[in-house]
Amino acid sequence: MSTTLSPERGVDLDAPPEQGPGRGRGSWRHNWLGGLAGWLWLVVVVVPIYWIVVTSLKSRTIYYQENPFAPPTEPTLENYQSVIESDFARYFLNSVVVTLGAVLPAVLVSFMAAYAIVRGGAASRFLRGVNVLFLMGLAIPLQAVIIPVYLIIIRLHMYDSLLAIILPSIAFAVPLSVLVLANFIRDVPKELFESMRMDGATEWRTLWSLAFPLTRPALVTVSIYNGLTIWNGFLLPLILTQSPEQRTLPLALWTFQGEYGVNVPAVLASVVLATLPIVVLYALGRRQLLSGLTVGFGR
Amino acid sequence: MTGLAPPAVRVRPPTTPAGGRGGSLAWMALPALAVFVAFGLIPLFGVLALSFTEWDGIGDIHPAGLDSWRAVLTDPGLPHALWVTFLVMALSWAFQTPASLLIGVFLAGRQRYREILAVLYFIPLLLSSAALAITYKALLDPNFGIGPGLGIPLLAQDWLGSANLALGVVVFVVSWQFIPFHALIYQGGVRQIPVALYEAAQIDGAGRLRQFFSITLPQLKYTVITSSTLMVVGSLTFFDLIFVLTEGGPGDATRVLALDMYKRGFQANLMGPASAIAVILVLVGLALALLLRRLGGRDASASQMEGM
């Protein structure tokens, strides 16, 4: 069916022959409406992305003369150069510091909490309470509490520092991380925990030598998801920092646009540079990320 | 990124028998608890407290009774912001749901090229809202964007300069980013539908459309509710995108609740009224989440068994 609708011939060759009652496969054969939507959406997604990349490689003068979708006749990296010269490295480094500085502790403390909730929840009312608290925490939107967070950061004399972004980021990463990790730890066969206990291992040792390696896929998922959220975070840096020295990438993009104004190619080069690390991460951990994003949904 | 609502998530009760060992474990939860309480829970109560005070964001905080609430509730800006928030929510829901449903059904097929498509669909979700907003701002610029570049007057409109168009652009950009995510949820849902249902329908001579409306759609009921909850509650928190794209403008055409709060608090330095708006934001979010949960809460097994 989609053969007739597909604009690219090469891609269709990858499709396995449509036969046999493979799960779900045979039933979708003549779904032309879905196929139309699917290919249409591909165009809607790819065209702006193509435009971003192509334009970022054009010189400013050429951009205003040519068809905006034409591939660059003389590709140039001058836009990238001027973006990098505008202190981009510093903003990039700030984003790396904030992201790693928030994701590593967030995942670590969430993992410990998840382990405690799974292993001790039955016996401890306190841990059950903590679990309920984190579940409710999923419903707190960051925007709604930003004013008190701002007040707390000021009172702690942390305003305009990277730590000011890191601490609330950890707090808002904890609820979902605990939920996902706890679901994974529950899937570890109880016999394994039992045998660790028989061998006289402490909970602390069991946590690291049994639960940690077995939960590694979930830990990667949660790290990537949190990393994506924090890398792209805009509100916390906007409210909690002020000086250019503490600027993270999303905020820098926004100010770039203010500075460069109509220099569209340079603005788009900054978009590409800011997104590149995430795309690399996506390429490396795509499966983990996708399964992570849908954990608990649509099951 | 996405507003995550409580009803979307399944909770399994703790099952592990750990007789009496809870105490030795409890401390492991303390670091996570401490940081969550400090920057999540306390601010939640803090925002309620601050809504009864007067504060300019820099100086001292003074108690002000109901002043902020009175100011906010009598300001015509509030119903307007609520209305815009509702419009963005309703329009983005109405656009995203059918589109992600269709794409999700399409993606549920296991052909390899569809998997490749899914990889590409996902790219918008990787961009930050700020990057997305400045990209579309440049793309739609009436003087330097693609409209004049291609010489198509229809595309060369002042997209962000007219109230209705700007709202439309916001809805489109939101959909551009989030449809793949919801399509993925639907894909998961469709793959759970037993193939036997379709085989039976085929034997009965039901056509494709008939199969879609009598099997796929009813079977996806809970997926629709999950996805809708995420969309609706998440739409309350579109801040970055609208802030960078339109700053609430033109005029206050795209001034949603979250933006209204920011502008009152951090631009007009009226933290009291801004906190009151934030409290309203939380209440609206909770009400919507509970409402959607109620919609889907009953007869949990009924539709699953339909046609079996």
Task: Report the pLDDT value the prediction gives residue B42, as an integer from 0 to 100.
Answer: 93
The predicted-structure confidence for A211-230, as pLDDT tens digits, reads as follows 888 888 888 888 888 988 89
State the nearest Cα–Cα gap between A116 and chain B, in angstroms: 5
So where are chain A's domains? 2-65, 86-293
Whether residue B18 has pLDDT greater than 60: no
pLDDT tens-digit map of A251-269: 988 888 877 766 888 888 8
A235 touches chain B (CB under 8 A): yes
Provide the pLDDT for residue B307: 37
> What's residue B149's pLDDT?
67
Residue A184 contacts B where some CB pair is shorter than 8 Å: no
Q: What is the pLDDT of residues A278-288, one digit of tens each?
A: 888 888 777 66
What digits encode the pLDDT tens for the residues A162-195? 999 999 999 999 998 998 898 888 888 888 888 8
Q: What is the average pLDDT score of chain A?
A: 81
Is residue A15 very low, low, confident or very high in pLDDT (cuts 50, 70, 90)?
A: very low
Range from A129-138, B17-26, B95-104 carrying the lowest mean pLDDT: B17-26
Tell me what the mean pLDDT of segment A29-33 comes to: 66
Are the Cβ atoms of A21 and B103 closer than 8 angstroms? no
Instruction: Compute the average pLDDT of residues B217-241.
Output: 84
Residue B225 has pLDDT above 90, yes or no: no
Chain A CB contacts of B226 below 8 Å: 297-298
Tokens of A66: 């040519």
- The model's confidence at residue A291, banded by pLDDT at 50, 70 and 90, is low
Looking at the complex, report in whole angstroms how far the Cα of residue B192 sits from the nearest Cα belonging to chain A: 8
Identify the pLDDT of residue A29.
52
Q: Chain B interface, mutation test: which of A143, A150, A160, most B Cβ atoms within 10 Å?
A: A143
Cβ contact (<8 Å) for B110 and A232?
no
The pLDDT of residue A288: 66
Burial class (CB in 10 A: 0-12, 13-18, 19+), A181: buried
Determine, for residues B18 and A120 on separate chains, whether the beta-carbon distance falls below 8 Å.
yes
A151 touches chain B (CB under 8 A): yes
Contact B134 A267 (CB under 8 A): yes
Q: Measure in Å the smallest separation between the Cα of A170 and chain B Cα atoms.
A: 7
Better pLDDT: B152 or A219: A219
CA angle A34, B227, B128 (to 5 degrees): 90
A117 at the B interface (CB within 8 A)?
yes
Q: How confident is the model at residue A202 (pLDDT cuts 50, 70, 90)?
A: confident
Cβ contacts of B6 within 8 Å, gap of 6 or more:
A135, A136, A138, A139, B289
Confidence band for A293, pLDDT divided at 50, 70 and 90 = low
CB < 8 Å to A6, chain B:
113
Measure CB to CB from residue A24 to each of B8, B10, B109 and give the nearest one: B109
Q: Name the residue in chain B with its Cα closest to that of A116.
A: B25
Q: Please tell me which residue of chain A has the smallest CA distance to B229.
A: A297
If you average pLDDT over residues B226-245, what whole number do you get? 86
Closest partner residue to A139 (CB to CB) among B5, B143, B181 is: B5
A227 touches chain B (CB under 8 A): no
Work out the angle at residue B225's Cα, subtended by the Cα atoms of residues B130 and B276, and round it to the nearest 5 degrees: 55
Contacts with B53 from chain A: Cβ below 8 Å: none
Contact B9 A296 (CB under 8 A): yes
Instruction: Tell me the shortest Cα–Cα distance from B163 to chain A, in angstroms.
Output: 22
User: Going by DSSP bridges, is the β-strand pair B62-63/B53-54 parallel, antiparallel, or unpaired?
Assistant: antiparallel
CATH of segment(s) A86-293: 1.10.3720.10
Question: pLDDT digits over A226-240, tens only?
Answer: 988 899 999 999 999
B63: helix, strand or coil: strand
Across A19-30, average pLDDT: 44
Residues on chain A touching B50 (C-beta within 8 angstroms): 147-148, 151
Q: Do the Cβ atoms of A137 and B274 come within 8 Å?
A: no
Using the Cβ of A195 and the Cβ atoms of chain B, whether some distance falls under 8 Å is answered with no
Q: How far apart are the first and last CA of chain A?
A: 29
Task: Please give the residue of chain B at the shortest CA–CA distance from A159.
Answer: B58
Q: Which amino acid makes up residue A79? A: N
When comparing pLDDT for A159 and A200, which is higher? A159
Strand (E) or helix (H) holding B53: strand B53-54
Residue among B5, B12, B50 minimizing CB distance to A186? B12
Instruction: Tell me which amino acid residue A111 is.
Output: F
Q: Is A251 on the interface with B (CB under 8 A)?
A: yes
Size of interface A-B (CB pairs under 8 A): 381
* Per-residue confidence band for B23, with pLDDT thresholds at 50, 70 and 90: low
Residue among B37, B106, B177 with most chain A CBs within 10 A, to mutate: B106
Where exactly are the structural domains of chain B?
Answer: 79-273
- Work out the average pLDDT over B288-301: 66
Question: What gap in Å lies between CA B248 and CA B252, rounded to an integer?
Answer: 5
pLDDT tens, position by position, B90-113: 999 999 999 888 888 888 877 778
Domain B79-273: give its CATH architecture: Orthogonal Bundle (1.10)
Cα dihedral: A280, A284, A287, A293 (round 10): -40
Q: What is the pLDDT of residues A46-87, one digit of tens each?
A: 888 988 888 888 887 777 777 777 777 778 888 888 888 888
Is residue A125 over pLDDT 80? yes
- pLDDT at residue B215 above 70? yes
Of B99, B131, B195, the CB nearest to A274: B131
